[in-house]
Amino acid sequence: MAVRWSVIFSIILGFSPTSRGDELFRTFTASSGQAFTGRVLSYEGQTFYIQGKDSKLYPVPFKQLSPEDQKYLIQIAREGKIPKGDPRKLSTVEKQEEKPSVASDSEGTTNSRAIAKPKPSFRKGSFFAYKPVNLGQDPSLAMESKNVVSLPGPDEPVDFTNHVLPILEERCQSCHNAPYDKNGRTIHPKAGLRLDTYEWVMKGNLDDTVVEAGSLEDSYLYEVITLDQEDDMFMPPKGGALTAEQIDAIKRWIEEGAKPSAGGTGNTASDMGKGISFHNHIFPLIEERCLDCHGEPYVKNGRTIHPKAGLRLDTYEWIIKGNLDGTIIEKGNAEESTLHAVITLDADDPEIMPPKGEPLTEEEINLFKQWITEGAKENPSDTFVQEKKEDISVKTTDKKTVLSLVDQLSKRLKPPSKPQMDAAQKSGALVTLLSDRHSMVRAEFSSGPNLIQDDAIGALSGIKNNVSHLDLSRTSVTDGVLSEVKKFNNLTWLNLKNTSITDRGIEKLASMPYLTYLNLVSSKVTDKSIKSLESLTKLEEVYLWNSDVSAQGIARLRKALPEAKILH
């Protein structure tokens, strides 16, 4: 038994084949009668790798050897004296692994049973090689400390993330982890107990807590790892007991008050000074409140259910990417970020997110706000790179991703249904979506506009929030129609060219919040309307050619709206 253990160790710990030296040179005889002196290094399938006296490597098919040699090879292979695989490949792998193998070596000698299961090693940079990094910690330092210091020194205070969590990870989480999906079934943690984060460890399960800060007697977690190994409740049930050092670390951690890590994984506002972590602060919130609708696409009753608004929030990359309409996060600028905008709307606003349940608390909103302001980084230690202003090409492409007003409005609404569209067209209006998957519509009276009277607008009332473009040019409408138009809350583009609209009508538009384009060419509007127009601060284009507005009126309007294009 002892021999076998040592052999397994020599494999795990990766002694190079040359340093193994356990197989002696002997003479192999081929079935054809030829003799050959060498020692066997390893085997792969039916091929054995034999090193000759000239230290060259000869792959020899098993079947070509004499029955005696075959017997010998079977024996040593069964006993595990030689490794599997091509020795040339083995040696290169082992060279790369040299460092970690030394570390585990020292551990291994202290207690051979604890690491009976070899930890898989991954190439550098592999996703699986990722190690959790504490809040506010430099990732490279964190990686080193994790590798070297896994157990607390005698006088060192015990740190949850650095000392306790690795033990739980290694010995407990194969059963006590977050629920996951396996072959379509959700695998829940055993006994309903999760030991994957500080919060869960402290929460315990339905029965009770498993850790009582400062009290070993009341901490069930400590009790089960110190039971007699034959006891039914002894933990971990497989792979043997924890080492004395590991038990000691957990004991001291509980005695010291079972505190969270110094860096803190708690969701408290006091952590905010250290930077917001996406994984620790933001994602849990998103997971709880957003993923019901904005998760990854899934299949339900044979239909693929896509995330609402085409927006996925299930990974950092998706959140940053946004949807077809553009990004939802402007790094460094919470006010410009759609994500921030929709969670800070009034609770009774139809567009507030999340649409169901209570709105996010102020504290939660502040977390989002601060995270975006800090640059919406995945890890707090990442540096937030401001856009370089001098690089014109970058600037122009970025500009495209900034949402236009009408796209932002579109995101808040559902597209009108087919019956709604049909009803809207009853008036003689042509109603079209601005584009595929856009919620906003353009309504225009293009056929026989002279027959269109004020009452025609009534048909559009069913979709009034969806109308962003309204073309009433050349129609026979009067000022009265604008009392209805002003109820179109999301109107951005209004064309009243060649109509008999007067100042009394324009008065009614004064409160329209999103109006950016207003065409009053050849209308009856005079200087009296300038006051109303001044209050429309979002205006970007105003066309007043051939109206009754005077040059003074234009000058006044240009002063009030310096950014707008005003043509006269």
Q: Distance between the two ends of the chain, CA-based, in angstroms?
A: 99
Query: What CA–CA distances, in Å, run from 533 to 104, 472, 524, 543, 555?
Result: 76, 18, 15, 12, 13
Nearest distance from C-beta of residue 567 to other proteins, angstroms = 6
| Helix (H) or strand (E) run with residue 74 in it | helix 67-78
Binding residue for other proteins, selected from 16, 447, 535, 552, defined by CB under 8 A: 447
User: Rounded to an integer, what distance in angstroms lies between the CA atom of residue 174 and that of residue 119?
Assistant: 13
Among 213, 272, 352, 433, which residue sits at the site for other proteins (rule: CB under 8 A)?
433
Find the shortest distance in angstroms from Cβ 446 to other proteins. 4
Residue 313 in contact with residue 326, Cβ under 8 Å?
Answer: no
Figure out which of the listed residues 6, 37, 174, 446 binds other proteins, where binding follows CB under 8 A: 446
User: With CB under 8 A as the contact rule, which of the stretches 65-73, 190-198, 337-345, 447-455 interacts with other proteins?
Assistant: 447-455
> Which one of residues 412, 438, 464, 508 is an interface residue with other proteins (CB under 8 A)?
438
Question: Which secondary structure element, helix H or strand E, spans residue 415, and what is its range?
Answer: none
Rounded CA-CA distance 250/225 in Å is 10
C-alpha 507: how far from chain center: 48
**Closer of 59 and 448 to other proteins (Cβ):** 448
Distance of CA 545 to the CA centre of its chain: 52
Find the part of the chain contacting other proteins (CB under 8 A) among 84-92, 113-121, 218-226, 438-446: 438-446
Which of the ranges 90-98, 111-119, 449-457, 507-515 carries the binding residues for other proteins, by CB under 8 A?
Answer: 449-457
Q: How far is the CB of 135 from other proteins (least distance, A)?
A: 31
Amino acid identity of 42?
S
Closer CB to other proteins, 464 or 497, in the complex: 497
Interface residue with other proteins among 436, 551, 559, 563 (CB under 8 A) is 436
Phi, then psi, of 37 in degrees rounded to 5? -100, 130
What residues have CB less than 8 Å from 56, skipping those under 6 apart?
none
CB of 381 to other proteins, least distance (A): 29
Query: Of residues 270-289, which lie at the interface with other proteins (CB under 8 A)?
Result: none
Which one of 196, 255, 374, 444 is in contact with other proteins (CB under 8 A)?
A: 444
| Dihedral Cα 326, 327, 332, 334, nearest 10 deg | 90
State the amino acid at position 403 in one-letter form: L
Nearest distance from residue 405's CB to other proteins, in Å?
12
Residues 429 and 456 sit within 8 Å (Cβ to Cβ):
yes
Shorter beta-carbon distance to other proteins: residue 390 or 436: 436
Token duo for residue 465: 């929030």
Residue 449 is a binding residue for other proteins (CB under 8 A) = yes
Residue whose pair of structure tokens reads 């009753």 in the numeric block: 301
Which residue reads 């080193």 in tokens? 144
Residues 341 and 344: their CA atoms lie apart, in Å, by: 5
Residues 291-350 that bind other proteins (CB under 8 A): 297, 304, 306, 310, 312, 321, 323-324
Instruction: State the minimum distance, in angstroms, from the CB of residue 492 to other proteins.
Output: 11
**Minimum distance from residue 335 beta carbon to other proteins (Å):** 24
In the list 287, 292, 455, 541, the residue contacting other proteins (rule: CB under 8 A) is 541
Nearest-approach distance from CB 404 to other proteins, in angstroms: 8
Report residue 198: phi and psi, to 5°: -60, -45
Residue list 374-413, contact with other proteins (CB under 8 A) = 406-407
Q: Which stretch binds other proteins (CB under 8 A): 35-43, 240-248, 345-353, 448-456?
A: 448-456
Nearer to other proteins, 188 or 437 (CB): 437
Of 189 and 307, which CB lies nearer to other proteins in the complex structure?
307
Nearer to other proteins, 31 or 435 (CB): 435
Neighbours of 21 (CB within 10 A): 9
Total residues interacting with other proteins, rule: CB under 8 A: 40
- Residue entry with tokens 């006051």: 531
Phi, psi of 503 (to 5 degrees): -55, -35
Say whether residue 434 binds other proteins (CB under 8 A): yes
How many Cβ atoms sit within 10 Å of the Cβ of residue 516? 20
Q: What is the CA radius of gyration of the chain?
A: 36
Is 474 a binding residue for other proteins by CB under 8 A? The answer is yes
**Contact (Cβ atoms closer than 8 angstroms) between residue 277 and residue 285:** no
Q: Nearest distance from residue 431's CB to other proteins, in Å? A: 6
Contacts of 361 (CB under 8 A, 6+ apart): none
> Which of these ranges, 207-215, 371-379, 526-534, 538-546, lies near other proteins under the rule CB under 8 A?
538-546
Take residue 480 and report the two structure tokens written for it.
Answer: 């009265």
Residue 545 binds other proteins, judged by CB under 8 A? yes
Alpha-helix runs per DSSP H in 157-271: 165-171, 198-203, 220-225, 244-255
Q: Which is closer to other proteins, CB of 208 or CB of 436?
A: 436
What is the CA 567 to chain-centroid distance, rounded? Answer: 48
Residues 490-519 contacting other proteins, CB under 8 A: 495, 497, 517, 519
For other proteins, the closer of residues 258 and 309 by Cβ is 309
Shortest distance in whole angstroms from residue 467 CB to other proteins: 14
CA–CA dist 330, 236 (Å, integer)? 47
DSSP state of 188: P
* Interface residue list for other proteins (CB under 8 A): 297, 304, 306, 310, 312, 321, 323-324, 406-407, 421, 425, 430-438, 444, 446-451, 473-474, 495, 497, 517, 519, 521, 541, 543, 545-546, 567
